[in-house]
Amino acid sequence: MQKKTFISFLIFLLFSNFLLAQNETVKSDKVSETYDRSGLTYLFLDFKSDRFSSYLRDAASRIEIPIKFDNNLLSFSAIDAPYFRDEHSGGDLNLQSNKYKIQDKLLQERVNYKLLEFWWGIKNDGSYSAQTIQQRGIYNATDLDVTEADASKIGRAQLGDAGEKLIGNSYILVYDVHSIKTMTEIYDEQDAAAKAKAEKDKTEFKPVKRTRNGYKGNVTAFLYRLAYNDTIQAYFFESFSDEKNIDLQKFNTIYNNVKVPLKFVSSTTASADGTQMNTALVQKSTSELFEKLLSDGVSSALSSFERSLEEFRVKTPLVSTFPIKAKVGKKEGLTTDRRFYVWEYQVNSKGETVAKHKAVVRSRMIHNNLNDELGKTGTTNFYQVSGGKLREGMILQERVDLGVAIGLGAQSYAGQTSFHIRAEGSLSQYLGYVINTPLTAFKLYADALFQKDKDSLYNDPIKFSGHKDHSFSRFSIGVNKEIYFARKFHVGILGGAGLEQATWADREGSESMSTYLIATGLEFGMAVGKNSQIVASLMNYSPIGDVTENDKDGELLNTYTEGWDYFFPERKGAAFDVTFRILF
């Protein structure tokens, strides 16, 4: 009955996912045809009473803005915290209240004015320069923008003037670093918990292995956007005295009539790791570890915003479908195996323009377009992983994913069919953050299988001393390289190693037998939605080495050289599994 229920559940997931994927349509304003770069400012919330505040303040001045964003650099990288919290608060920070306190603090520090001063190069004497606006307008221009400018009377000068619209894409990421603990404190807490449990269970206390040093904590990030629209721009232009100077008194009243000079966008909390292995030959200094802590936490928070905010998603039209190409690259922060949705604009029965989802593609070797000649941008290649036929002009929309997948299904092995789970993480995707590589769809996997044999097949009294009703658990890890073809299909080759353990119904405590194994196999998969696949795998499991037996306390009792198939002759060879894979 369990198997029938599980199979029915898989069928339900399959068809519901397929139907949702085929029919997703959104309003056209949800998927813009154009992409304009956003500017970013990092500001650290300084709680001066925190024990690590001086290290954090110093590290905050060295955190770099990702290349995907323009750096709206201010003269300061930290502001005093506008609310109180204990540094060990554990993240219970009253987000709803604090976001308004931070916003008030930003206005008190005149961050909205300082951003305008940055954009327009306004100096203390009222003089200004539009150099930054001009440079960013040109850097943001697409080949189509250049073509249209060349065909106009004004020419390419208008490209620089277009930089004014980027002022409204100015974001401030304010971050609070809290709940910081040293690795010594973390290990002490783990030891205390383990010792208390050992005393309760009356077992031997085993201290945790202390392999790392450094710091761990959490980062809560608040994102705000500068209010800059046509009305505010009109107020701003009224402050111009001439072509070289601004009336500072008028400039300082620009936002007087603006209800919300800075708009709160979103908040998120992410973990932050500033640790290193004790065995590392070169040990980072305390300052370097705190820089690593901040960089890790802020990057994780920013990645969360990139996954949820349309403004941070790169959009660009397809310029070729065989091979799939688009004019984006390193300038837009692309890395290997970055996911993009493909949309097509259509007119529905109501006469409304809508965007319909057509496919999912991923990036290959990334083109370095940082220094491409204006109007002659190179292209990055993509490969398709799901969906239908593509056409030039369809819109690619960046949809950053975690690069992980979970597969649930069933596997037939050793005469039994059991539930099977496989987790995967994209090695090529995360390697792409470090180096530009053409390696795609290269994954690390881990799988698990649990089986029971109530037929008492293995009841040889010489081998098992009367034990029966054996249960088996298998865990393995390895790598998987997939190759995609025909829009939604892929094949893959897998290789790894693992451990299989046998227990029995009448065992005492932790009694068990186990051995190592080698796993190899092939898979065939088909996409059934934007983020789901049906995958069939043919695996071969080969037990290797000695068989170990543990007593009821988990201690080694015996080692047998006969091998696993001496005890369990059927537990080797081919296995077939089918899983429903969900990608995140």
CA distance 248 to 336: 47
- Which residue carries 């309760």 as its tokens? 200
Would you say residue 568 has pLDDT above 80?
yes
CA distance 465 to 508: 13
CA distance 14 to 12: 5
CA distance 187 to 246: 59
Neighbours of 249 (CB within 10 A): 9
CA distance 363 to 384: 9
pLDDT in tens, 71-83: 999 999 999 999 9
CA distance 405 to 512: 31
- Kindly list the domain boundaries of the chain, sorted by start residue: 24-32+313-398, 39-181+216-308, 404-583
In degrees, to the nearest 5, what angle opens at C-alpha 94 toward C-alphas 114 and 263?
30
pLDDT at 29: 58
pLDDT at 456: 47
Mean pLDDT score, 548-572: 88
CA distance 401 to 426: 10
**Which class for 517: exposed (0-12), middle (13-18), buried (19 or more C-beta within 10 A)?**
buried
Phi, psi (rounded to 5 degrees) for 140: -80, -15
Q: Tell me the two tokens of residue 30.
A: 């949800």
Strands 404-413 and 416-426: antiparallel
pLDDT at 507: 83
Would you say residue 516 has pLDDT above 80?
yes
pLDDT in tens, 396-444: 999 999 999 999 999 999 888 899 999 999 999 988 888 888 899 999 9
CA distances 3 to 413, 450, 457, Å, are 15, 14, 22
- Please list the residues that pair with 525 across neighbouring strands: 490, 535
Q: Using an 8 Å Cβ cutoff, are 506 and 471 in contact?
A: no
Name the residue type at position 71.
N
Strands 70-71 and 39-46: parallel
406, 412, 418, 424 alpha-carbon torsion, rounded to 10°: -10
Would you say residue 580 has pLDDT above 90?
yes
**E strands of 170-300, at which residues?**
170-182, 212-226, 262-277
Q: Which of 187, 189, 176, 188 is CA-nearest to residue 217?
A: 176
Which CATH number applies to 24-32+313-398?
2.40.10
Phi, psi (rounded to 5 degrees) for 210: -100, 95
Name the residue type at position 163.
G
pLDDT at 1: 41
- Please list the residues that pair with 449 across neighbouring strands: 420, 474
CA distance 184 to 188: 6
Tell me which fold the domain 404-583 belongs to. Porin (2.40.160)
Mean pLDDT score, 190-204: 90
Would you say residue 543 has pLDDT above 90?
yes
- Integer distance in angstroms from the first to the last C-alpha of the chain? 30
Residue 411, SS3? strand
Q: Tell me the two tokens of residue 324.
A: 């799939």
CA distance 125 to 33: 41
pLDDT in tens, 461-482: 455 555 677 889 999 999 999 9
CA distance 247 to 240: 6
20, 22, 23, 26 alpha-carbon torsion, rounded to 10°: 100
Chain mean pLDDT for the chain: 89
